């Protein structure tokens, strides 16, 4: 999280993929390149472009980093407006008076699998445990990006914004909304307490707009 020269607040979360080593490198490189581009006067799209290019350059010619990448979600708050950009499945939530809304798109296979439930081709339980559910359709890997999600929203008072890695989705959205009033450590503990098999790592950055 960074306060920029124009007074806006920037937050970025990148969730690495490509093995433990590769994922850690990719997420670090992506965030650093993104923030640097914004601090040099670029917009969110410039930050994402630089992050994507940096991950590609870092992996080039290194067998141990082959296939590494990261999801990325970033939000910039200026006054009563938030702008965001994302690639991958890391969710960006707006929580207000106990309600929760996911603002960004999910670039995993989960939306397509959930559509099969609505069409009666899978049960809800089959969809939840589908082996391809968390397969990414897009990620920051140095390749051309086609599924970029971006948008903006005016913010009311007492709003909380949550930038998360997908591990937070061990909780139902109602549970995430209820946990949003707690310190971030409380939300992370709630995720870990679910003790799900093959639990994904969880990162949460919370931005609050008070009255």
Q: In this predicted model, what pLDDT tens digit does every residue of 36-93 receive, in sequence order?
A: 999 999 999 999 999 999 999 999 989 999 889 999 999 999 999 999 999 999 999 9
Query: What's the CATH number for 2-209?
Result: 3.60.40.10
Where are the domains positioned within the chain? 2-209
Q: In this predicted model, what pLDDT tens digit does every residue of 151-203 receive, in sequence order?
A: 999 999 889 999 999 999 989 999 999 999 888 998 999 888 887 766 678 99
pLDDT at 199: 62
Distances (CA, A) of 26 to 39, 62, 141, 187: 20, 13, 8, 25
Contacts of 120-124 with CB under 8 Å at 24 or more apart are none
* Cα–Cα distance measured from residue 13 to residue 93, given in angstroms and rounded to the nearest whole number: 13
């Amino acid at each position: 999280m960074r306060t920029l020269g124009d007074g806006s607040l920037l937050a970025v979360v990148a969730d690495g993929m490509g093995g433990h080593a590769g994922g850690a490198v990719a997420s670090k490189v992506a965030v650093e390149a993104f923030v640097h581009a914004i601090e040099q006067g670029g917009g969110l799209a410039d930050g994402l472009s630089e992050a994507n290019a940096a991950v590609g350059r870092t992996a080039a010619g290194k067998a141990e980093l082959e296939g590494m990448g990261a999801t990325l979600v970033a939000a910039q708050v200026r006054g009563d407006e938030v702008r965001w950009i994302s690639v991958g499945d890391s969710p960006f939530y707006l929580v207000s008076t106990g309600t929760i809304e996911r603002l960004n798109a999910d670039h995993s296979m989960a939306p397509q699998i959930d559509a099969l439930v609505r069409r009666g081709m899978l049960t809800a339980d089959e969809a939840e445990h589908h082996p391809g559910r968390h397969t990414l359709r897009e990620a920051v890997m140095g390749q051309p990006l086609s599924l970029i999600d971006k948008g903006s929203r005016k913010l009311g008072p007492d709003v909380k914004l949550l930038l998360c890695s997908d591990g937070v989705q061990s909780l139902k959205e109602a549970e995430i909304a209820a946990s949003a009033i707690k310190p971030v450590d409380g939300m992370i503990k709630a995720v870990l307490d679910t003790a799900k098999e093959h639990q994904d790592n969880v990162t949460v950055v919370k931005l609050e707009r008070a009255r």
